[in-house]
Amino acid sequence: MRIKKGFWVWGMFPSKETNLLNEIKAKVQNYLKSPVFETHITLTGPYLNIDKTFLNKLKTFGESNSVIMLNVNGYDFKKEVFKSFYISIKNSRSLKKLRKDIYELNKFDLENNYSPHISLSYGNHEISKKEILISKLPELNKPIEMSKIALVEVDEDINLWKILECFDLN
């Protein structure tokens, strides 16, 4: 069962990557109507509760971990509201290690069939529209830098994705 309300850790991007991803997302959302959300890659969660100790650990984690490069598979989509249309990311060794290290800070369901991606649109959209859209988007042929981690409060029932804290990776 999908948990719709809780806290997640997202990966965020430096300005250059964010601007490029937001341009692509704007084109996608102009074609496929979607709720508004920050451009991100979900790393861990959900956590039903968080505390100041976890926040402090996350801050220290950011300070002691490096920026990582995310290798792109390309555009993809599913018949799922929150994976409606996205950029698929390779589940690399560095991404797996990052997730495992965050798991050590505060346990979550590490074995939840993690499928790394950067969402471009949420919603129920026709497959044919998504297939057409892929041909209209720029080719993604270089890695994307992930330079921050953020703690996010989520309530999918009211389309809430609120960044509570954001920490730079070194």
CA distance linking residue 6 with residue 159, whole number of Å: 13
- Average pLDDT of every residue of the chain: 94
Question: 133 in helix, strand or coil?
Answer: helix
Domains of the chain and any CATH numbers: 5-168 (3.90.1140.10)
What average pLDDT score do residues 142-155 get?
97
pLDDT in tens, 95-133: 999 999 999 998 877 777 899 999 999 999 999 999 999
